[in-house]
Chain A
Amino acid sequence: ELKVEQNPLFLSMQEGKNYTIYCNYSTTSDRLYWYRQDPGKSLESLFVLLSNGAVKQEGRLMASLDTKARLSTLHITAAVHDLSATYFCAVDLSFGNEKLTFGTGTRLTIIP
């Protein structure tokens, strides 16, 4: 059974600081997704990582994937209040059995 774990579960950080959210998964996969969820809302797609060593950046967020370590990171640079949200990683199983398994989520609060 695929397990996806994120840490930390809660993160409170000051504006302007940098931090990293970690996503570990238990089964071989080379497709990993990052999503953002605001309170009461559905998911917003942030990144799709499709191969080992993939790195993608959008604004103050950068995601990377190490399939050998079964680890993905979401790095936040110079955080701003607008980034406050819950962030989920999700892992896709192999072809023929595609379905997303979500991580536990990281609730990020940016303090002015």
Chain B
Amino acid sequence: GAVVSQHPSWVICKSGTSVKIECRSLDFQATTMFWYRQFPKQSLMLMATSNEGSKATYEQGVEKDKFLINHASLTLSTLTVTSAHPEDSSFYICSARGARWGYTFGSGTRLTVV
């Protein structure tokens, strides 16, 4: 079946620094990738949708300059949290959609900003 690899699984960073999270589709080409964030005991909120080779589409209220998304190939998308602050601490999950497999989710990244 379809597998999406997400790294790192967890990261702790200092306030003001940037953090990059990678999402790779291992055995299929992902035409579209999605980035979600999830606060404790809450649901998943879609942050942005990205298609290979084009700019990401951000959901309302998501700062595009803070959450940089790059979808350079059909198997890789990255999310960079720039100038991270404690309020950015959250669980970030990527999802990839291929022509055949529907939605496949990565294992998630727990970001803690101190």
Interface positions of A (Cβ within 8 A of B): 33, 35, 40-43, 45, 48, 88, 98-105, 107
From B97, which residue of chain A is reached at the shortest CB distance? Answer: A98
B107 touches A100 (CB 8 A): no
In the complex with contacts A42-B93, A42-B105, A42-B107, A101-B46 CB distance below 8 A: yes
Main secondary structure of the interface of B (DSSP, over half): strand
| B39-70 near A? 1/0 per residue, CB < 8 Å | 00111111001000000000000000000000
Chain B 19-41: CB-based contact to A (< 8 A → 1; otherwise 0): 00000000000001010000001
Mostly, the A contact residues are strand
If A33-B103, A42-B106, A43-B105 touch, whether A100 touches B46 (CB-CB below 8 Å) is yes
Q: Do residues A48 and B46 form an inter-chain contact, with CB atoms below 8 A?
A: no
In the assembled complex, how far is the CB of residue B74 from the closest CB belonging to chain A, in whole angstroms?
16
Is there an interface contact between B108 and A99, defined as CB atoms closer than 8 Å?
no
Q: Is the CB of B108 within 8 A of A103?
A: no
- List chain B positions with a Cβ less than 8 A from chain A: 6, 32, 34, 41-46, 49, 93, 95, 97, 102-108, 110
Q: For A31, give the chain B residue with the smallest CB separation.
A: B102
Known: A98-B97, A105-B43. 7 other contacts (CB 8 A): A33-B103, A40-B110, A42-B93, A43-B105, A100-B46, A102-B44, A103-B43
21 A-B residue pairs with Cβ-Cβ distance under 8 Å, sorted by A, are A33-B103, A41-B107, A42-B93, A42-B105, A42-B106, A42-B107, A43-B44, A43-B93, A43-B105, A98-B32, A99-B34, A99-B46, A99-B49, A100-B34, A100-B46, A100-B95, A102-B44, A103-B43, A104-B43, A105-B43, A107-B41
